[in-house]
Chains A and B, each alone.
Chain A
Amino acid sequence: MKVHVMLILVSALLALGNLSCGKKEEAPTTQETPAAGKTVDPATAGTISGIVKFTGTPPPPVRLRMDADAACARMHAGAVQVREVETDASGGLARVVVYVKEGLEGYTFPPATEAIELDQEGCMYKPRVLAVRTGQPIEILNSDDTTHNIHPIPKVNREWNRSQPPKGEKIVDSFARQEVAIPVKCNIHPWMQAYIAVIAHPYFQVTGESGTFELKNLPPGTYTLEAWHEKLGTTTQQVTLGPNEAKTVEFVFQGS
């Protein structure tokens, strides 16, 4: 009988040992670095600009319940509402990532070293949609009086999940591979949602309130442009740009 008791205690101790040694090592990141190729000649470069529009009735704003964390609720005077489809009076659609999806193969670009900020303020991500270059540093701030965890859920990049104490030290990280777009969650506050579009070249923009965008300094060529929206999905267009040409395109997302 005593042997059995000893066996139980030994197995319990071994299990405890396993528990404390189970921390996962993070996989090393390998950044996508294309082989040296063509560079853009500014003398022949052109511009593609345009607007992203939404037709139809946008879905109504959704009220967020922040009562799970009193600190979050305290940061807002009234009810907090989110519009997933944000348009201006003329139908210009905000928070759309417009980027060159195809047509830049063979080009190399200097790496982006300037850090881009993603803040957590009022228990919301600011901005909600962010676009960065592959390997570009993203500085994540916590301006709130509460703890957050930042959990990007990529499909082709490395997933991570880190906590950040109230007004804690900034977290700096980057994504190595192109991916449009990576959802980012805070599992402490399930209403918090952001998207990070990671693009391998500098030709992208997130539309502002008016829905407009401008991609400057593009070399002549035929491009597939994609517009990505968190709720409405994607739409693409082909554009051929001649030397020093300026072209205008319009993307339209249809509402229900």
Chain B
Amino acid sequence: MHTPYRPRLHRYALATAAATLLLLVAGGLVTSNDAGLSVPDWPLSYGSLFPPMVGGIVYEHSHRVIAALVGLMTIGLAVWLARVEHRTWVRYLAYAALALVVLQGILGGLTVLFYMPRPISIAHATMAQIFFTTVAALALFTSQWWLTAATRPSTKASRRAVQFARLTTLTILAQLILGAAYRHGGLGITPHLLGAGAVLVATSWTNRLVRRADFAVGVVTRLRILLSSLVGTQILLGFGAWWAVVRNQQALQPLPEMVGLTVAHLACGALTLATATLLWLALHRVTMSAESADLRATIGSPALQEGGRR
């Protein structure tokens, strides 16, 4: 059964991803401003939906409000896909996204109620990145490009590029976990610095392999260039954030440059993981071999525009 392109559904998925990125920034602001426990209760804030918005409460309660919005948008996305999506695996991915956002909300609550235990804070930070990437992937799967992209014969070079793109994605995920562990005091900086080196090597190698395989697909080229740019930016932001954190250690309150740089580093990390994942998926999409005809059938190509337009 073919899956038609539904522009409104795709735009809604994009909006959910954008809201999730905003949520990540809001969460980063909570940690950087040391405001995680400025609201001592949960799920309500000071027993109400409208606490006094002063000091750290501004960050913590805004984070909760945006989280609730993202939760509702994810429920909407899952319901929408459950109703109209023909591809079973896309529906299941939407359910997985819903499960992730619910679990993420519970982890957030546990951080408040148990005074930010390190493992839960690290899990909460990691889960946020995974959830954002999942929603970004749903936006890709509902895009017109995904539904209509032409496949090309699989070659040894293209297969290697796909494998390395997957490896790069996993390396970035591991690096984000190391970053979260450093941020929440679970690990020192050394593993995160080594991880940065690994990400740089993996990304450069993937970039080289993708160029060599000569995919000649606009989306792939854009994602490849974006990924390299994000990794470069992220390394610069990382050093900046590290300098600011070290400088802030003796400070009596969070310094603006520390807050700005750490939150930018966090957001750029999320975008890097999502971009690497999308690149891997896009490469996978355009190099599907004849043997994966079953999968191609479930992808939905050739696509139909909503309303029956081809």
A147-B52, A149-B37 known; A22 and B42 CB under 8 Å?
A: yes
- With the chains together, A23 CA to B40 CA distance in Å? 11
* Residue from A1, A68, A70, A189 whose CB has the most chain B CB atoms within 10 Å: A68
Nearest CB of B to A24, in Å: 4
Q: How far is the CA of A24 from the CA of B37 in the complex (A)?
A: 14
CA distance A159 to B114 in the complex (A): 9
- Over the window 59-102 of chain A, the binary record of Cβ atoms lying under 8 Å from chain B Cβ atoms (1 yes, 0 no) is 00010110011111000000000101000000000000000000
Among A12, A19, A147, A161, the residue within 8 A (CB) of B115 is: A161
Among candidates A5, A22, A68, A151, residue contacting B110 with C-beta atoms closer than 8 Å: A22
Which among A1, A15, A187 has the greatest number of chain B C-beta atoms within 10 A?
Answer: A187
- B254's nearest neighbour on chain A, judged by CB, is A190
* 7 nearest A-B pairs in the assembled complex, by CB-CB distance: A188-B55, A187-B38, A191-B253, A4-B82, A15-B102, A24-B113, A69-B54
Does chain A have a CB within 8 A of B78? yes
Contacting pair A8 B40 (CB below 8 A): no
Cβ-defined partner of A15 (8 Å) among B106, B251, B253 = B106
Residues of A within 8 A of B54 (CB): 68-71, 146-147, 188
Q: Which residue of A lies closest to B75 (CB)?
A: A12
Assuming the contacts A11-B98, A187-B56, A188-B35, asked whether A19 and B106 have C-beta atoms less than 8 A apart, the reply is yes
- Name the B residues within 8 Å of A72 (CB-CB): 55
Whether the pair A149, B38 counts as a contact (CB closer than 8 A) is yes
- Residues 195 to 225 of chain B near chain A (Cβ within 8 Å): none
In chain B, residues 219-236, which have Cβ atoms closer than 8 Å to a Cβ of chain A?
none
Give B127 Cβ to nearest chain A Cβ, in Å.
14
**Contact A19 to B105, CB < 8 A, known contacts A159-B115, A189-B55:** yes
B34 contact from A146, A161, A187, Cβ within 8 A: A187
> Which A residues touch B170, using CB under 8 A?
none
> Closest CB of chain B to A66's CB: distance in Å?
9
Query: Quick check: is B156 within 8 A (CB to CB) of the other chain?
Result: no
Contact B56 A188, beta carbon cutoff 8 Å: yes
Interface residues of B (CB under 8 A from A): 33-43, 46, 52, 54-58, 60, 75, 78-79, 82-83, 91, 95, 98-99, 102, 105-106, 109-110, 113-115, 251-254
A193 within 8 A of B: yes
Return chain B residues, CB-CB under 8 Å to A71. 54
Contacts of B36 in A (CB 8 A): 187
Interface residues in A227-243 by Cβ distance below 8 A to B read none
> What per-residue 1/0 map shows which CB atoms of A177-192 lie under 8 Å from chain B?
0000000011111110
B55 and chain A: residue at smallest CB distance: A188
Contact at A8–B113, with CB atoms within 8 Å?
no
Query: In whole Å, how far is B220's beta carbon from the nearest beta carbon of chain A?
Result: 33
**Contacts A23-B113, A69-B55, A147-B52 given; does A15 touch B105 at CB 8 Å:** yes
A230 CA to B35 CA in the complex, in Å? 22
CB atoms of B43 and A12 under 8 A apart: no
CB <8 Å contact, B56 and A8: no
Interface set of A (CB-CB < 8 Å, partner B): 1, 4-5, 7-8, 11-12, 15, 18-20, 22-24, 62, 64-65, 68-72, 82, 84, 146-147, 149, 151, 153, 159, 161-163, 185-191, 193
Minimum CB–CB distance from A80 to chain B (whole Å) comes to: 10
Bound CA–CA A191/B60 (angstroms): 17
Residue of B nearest to A18 (CB): B106
Chain A residues, CB < 8 A from B41: 23, 163
Given A22-B106, A22-B110, do A191 and B252 touch, yes or no (CB 8 Å)? yes
Given contacts A1-B82, A188-B57, contact A147 B46 (CB under 8 A): yes
| Known contacts A159-B115, A190-B56, A191-B253, A8 near B78 by CB under 8 Å | yes
Contact between A12 and B37 (Cβ–Cβ < 8 Å)?
Answer: no
- What residues of B have a CB within 8 angstroms of the CB of A65 in the complex? 253
Provide the residues of chain A in CB contact with B33, threshold 8 Å. Answer: 190
A163–B99 Cα distance when bound, in Å, is 32
Q: Nearest B residue to A7 by beta-carbon distance?
A: B95
Select the residue from B42, B56, B60, B95 with max chain A CB neighbours within 10 A. B56
A5 to B94, CA, bound (A): 12
Known: A19-B105, A188-B35. A62 touches B252 (CB 8 A): yes
Determine the chain B residues whose CB is within 8 A of the CB of A147 once the complex forms.
46, 52, 54, 57
- Report chain A residues within 8 Å CB of B254: 190
Given A4-B91, A188-B35, A12 contacting B55 (CB threshold 8 A): no
Best-buried of B52, B75, B79, B98 by chain A (most CB within 10 Å): B52
Whether the Cβ atoms of A12 and B98 lie closer than 8 Å is yes
A248 to chain B, nearest CB (A): 34
Please report the C-alpha to C-alpha distance between residue A5 and residue B42 in the assembled complex, in whole angstroms.
Answer: 28
Sample 12 A-B pairs with CB under 8 A, ordered by A number.
A8-B78, A146-B55, A151-B37, A163-B39, A188-B38, A188-B56, A189-B55, A190-B33, A190-B55, A190-B253, A190-B254, A191-B253
Chain A residues closer than 8 Å to B35, beta-carbon distance:
187-188, 190
Q: How far is the CA of A58 from the CA of B83 in the complex (A)?
A: 68
